Amino acid sequence: MSLATLRRELRSKRDPEKARLLSRFFKTGPGEYGEGDHFLGISVPVIRALIRAHKELSEQDAFQLLQSAWHEERLAASIILVRSATRGSDKDRARIAKRYLASTAWINNWDIVDTSAPQIIGAWLEKRPRDILDRLAKNPDLWKRRIAIVSTLWFIRQNDLDDCFRISTILMKDQHDLIHKACGWMLREAGKRDRRRLTAFLNQYRHLMPRTMLRYAIEKYPDADRKRFLRIDFVSQNHPHNPSSVR
């Protein structure tokens, strides 16, 4: 199947009503994080099924598709890139990862990042220096910062937790709720591997941690422990680290 065929198949599945719902869900209004994005209204399982049926789509096809104005086509591109990176050699993975990082203008919503960053960036960095994650975490671009923390999921699954805690510390003062949620999610995953280490981290940073990050991080704790963490006296309402001051 050619890339043109995939585009036709995707667009044949469009659902205007679902597209309207997705536009609201992914915050595409003026000033919102997904401002100006366009949706066909296609579910992720349908997108994945189309891609599974056509294994000949290449890395080059994916990077071309990634520049689409349609959200679902960019998501499809990220899924194809994950497949190419997973099946490729070390050299292939490095090439894809570097081009992925050069293409972040189109990796521009949380579902696209979360679908691709661990398997593309995390897997590439498994046996390499990871200082690039620190640079991404300090970047003014929201999606690069999310790539930085979500990429650590790959390491967490290998019981390698250092990067998750380090990048979460860098992002502790971040002003965006999507970063708070991503950090809390990664911390929760790290806690599944080492609850004692997560507890120590939470105790150390509880006065700086945004409440959303904390809520996500403690989701798997017993109810009594969650209540104890949430009773902590957080920073004042006017402090820039307080999540209520940035919403």
Beta-bridge mates of residue 99: none
Q: What is the pLDDT of residue 2?
A: 86
C-alpha–C-alpha distance, residues 23 and 50, integer Å: 22
Q: Binning pLDDT at 50, 70 and 90, where does residue 247 land?
A: very low
How far, in Å, CA of 247 to CA of 89, rounded? Answer: 43
Q: In terms of pLDDT, which residue wins out, 234 or 236? A: 234
Q: What are phi and psi of 200, to 5 degrees?
A: -60, -40
Does residue 240 surpass a pLDDT of 50? no
More confident residue, 237 or 28: 28
Confidence of residue 101 (pLDDT cuts 50, 70, 90): very high
Q: What are the structure tokens assigned to 85, written together?
A: 């990176």
- What 3-state class would DSSP assign to 70? strand
Length of the chain (residues): 247
Domains of the chain with bracketed CATH: 1-108 (1.25.10.90), 129-247 (1.25.40)
Mean pLDDT rounded to a whole number for the chain: 93
pLDDT digits over 126-165, tens only? 999 999 999 999 999 999 999 999 999 999 999 999 999 9
What pLDDT sits at residue 239? 42
Partners of 38 in the β-ladder: 70
Question: How confident is residue 1, by pLDDT bands cut at 50, 70 and 90?
Answer: low
pLDDT value, residue 188? 99
Tell me what the mean pLDDT of segment 101-128 comes to: 98
The Cα–Cα gap between 179 and 204 comes to: 19
pLDDT at residue 244 is higher than 50: no
- Contact between 22 and 39 under an 8 Å Cβ cutoff? The reply is yes
Render pLDDT for 190-229 as a digit per residue (tens, 0 to 9).
999 999 999 999 999 988 899 999 999 999 999 999 998 9
- The pLDDT value recorded for residue 231 is 84
Q: Are 198 and 187 in contact (CB under 8 A)?
A: yes
